[in-house]
Amino acid sequence: MRRMEIVSQHMEEANYVYAFVRTAHMQLFRLYLEHLNEIVDRHSIEDLTMSHESFLQESEGRKFAPLCFTQVCLPIIRLLYLLGKKFKDFIYEDTFQETVLKVDTLTSKWIDECQGEHSVLDSTLCFQTMRDEIKRLYKMLRRGERDIQAGAALRKAGKQIHGPDPEPWDVLEVGIPGRAVLKDGSVGPRHDNDRADIADIQLLPTTEECLSREPPLLPGNFPFHNNAHWLPPGPERWLDNQGNLAAGRLRDANVDYNVYSIVEIDMPLKHTFRRDERGDSPRFFERHGLCVDVRLKQPSVADLTGRAELSEQQSRKHLWEKTGRLPFHGMVALVTYMDGKLQMVFCQIVERDLERLVEDVVEVALQPFETRDFAVLAQWRLSASLKSNQERNRLRMLLLEFNNVFLVAYEPVLRTLQSIHPAIMPFLEYLAPETPQTPGESRMEPPIYCLADEFSFDLSSVIRTYPGTVNGGPSQLLLRPDQQNSREECEAALVRYSTLEHDQAKALVHALSSRVACIQGLPGSGKSFIGSMLTRIIVEAKVSPVLVVCYTNHALDQFLCHLLDVGITRLVRIGGQCKEPRLEKFNLNSLPKSVQRYELKLLYEELDRNADAIASILEELNAKTRRPTWQSLKWFLETNYPDIYDYFAERYAELYEDDDGNWEVAGCHDILDYWIRGNDIDAPQSIWQYRGHGPNIWMWSLARRRDALTEWVNATRSASIEELVRAQETYLSTMKKIKIVKDQADVNVLECAHIIGMTTTGAAKNQQKITAVAPPVVICEEAGEVLEAQVMACLSPACQQLVLIGDHKQLRPHIATYNLSVESAIGERFALDKSLFERLVAPSSGLPFWMLTEQHRMRPQISQLIRMLFYPEVRDARETLEYPPVLGVDKNVFFVNHNHPEDVASAVLGASVRSHSNEYEVAYIVSTLRYLLQQGYHTSDIAILTPYIGQLMKLRSALRGEFVLELNELDQVQIQRTFDVGNAMVAGDDEDDSIDEGTWNENHAKLGATKKELSGVIRAATIDNFQGEEATIILASLVRSNTNVHGRGGIGFLKTPNRINVLLSRAKHGLILVGHGDLLRAKSPLWQQVLDQLHSEECYGNGLPLHCQRHPDYQRIATNPSSFALLAPDGGCLRPCGQRLARCGHACPKLCHVDQPSHTTIYCTQPCPRLQPDCEHVCPRVCGDFCGRCKVPVGTIVLPCGHAYSNARCFEAKRPSKLRCSVLVDKTVPMCGHVQRVNCSTVSVKCTRPCGVVLPCGHACSRKVS
Question: What percent of the chain stands above pLDDT 90?
Answer: 28
More confident residue, 969 or 1055: 1055
pLDDT value, residue 1040: 93
How confident is the model at residue 570, as a pLDDT? Answer: 94
Count other Cβ atoms within 10 Å, centred on residue 553: 20
Q: Rounded to 5 degrees, what angle do the CA atoms 240, 241, 245 make?
A: 115
For 1088-1106, give the secondary structure using H, E and C.
HHHHHHHHHCCCEECCEEE
Residue 392 has pLDDT above 50, yes or no: yes
User: Residues 781-794: what's their mean pLDDT?
Assistant: 91
Q: pLDDT tens digit string along 102-132?
A: 888 888 888 877 655 666 677 777 888 888 8
- From the centroid of its chain, how far is CA 316? 27
Task: Give mean pLDDT, residues 672-679.
Answer: 78
The strand pairing partners of 275, in sequence order, are 283
E runs forming strands in 527-631: 546-550, 571-573
Strands 893-897 and 1067-1075: parallel
| Per-residue pLDDT at 686 | 42
Which stretch of 238-252, 837-851, 1067-1081, 1117-1131 has the lowest confidence by average pLDDT? 238-252
Rounded average pLDDT over 251-256 = 60
Left, alpha or beta for 624 (phi > 0: left; psi -120 to 50: alpha)?
A: alpha
Q: Find the mean pLDDT for residues 520-536.
A: 93
- What would the mean pLDDT of 1020-1039 be, rounded to a whole number? 93
Q: Across residues 621-631, what is the average pLDDT?
A: 77
Mean pLDDT on 72-100 = 81
Return the pLDDT at 965.
Answer: 56
Question: Region 62-73: what's the mean pLDDT?
Answer: 80
Percent over 70 (pLDDT), the chain = 81
Q: Which residues contact 356 (CB under 8 A, 6 or more apart)?
A: 362, 363, 364
State the pLDDT confidence band at 21, using cuts at 50, 70 and 90. confident
pLDDT value for 801: 96
Q: What is the mean pLDDT of residues 992-1020?
A: 54
* Model pLDDT, residue 909: 47
- Span of 1-15, 445-459, 975-989, 1144-1158 with lowest mean pLDDT: 975-989
Confidence of residue 692 (pLDDT cuts 50, 70, 90): very low
Instruction: Name 812's Cβ contacts closer than 8 Å, sequence gap at least 6.
Output: 784, 785, 821, 822, 833, 834, 835, 838, 1058
CA distance 148 to 146: 5
Q: What is the pLDDT of residue 507?
A: 96
Indicate if the pLDDT at residue 473 is higher than 50: yes
Give the model's pLDDT for residue 251: 64
Given this model, what pLDDT does residue 681 score? 61
CA distance 1047 to 1022: 27
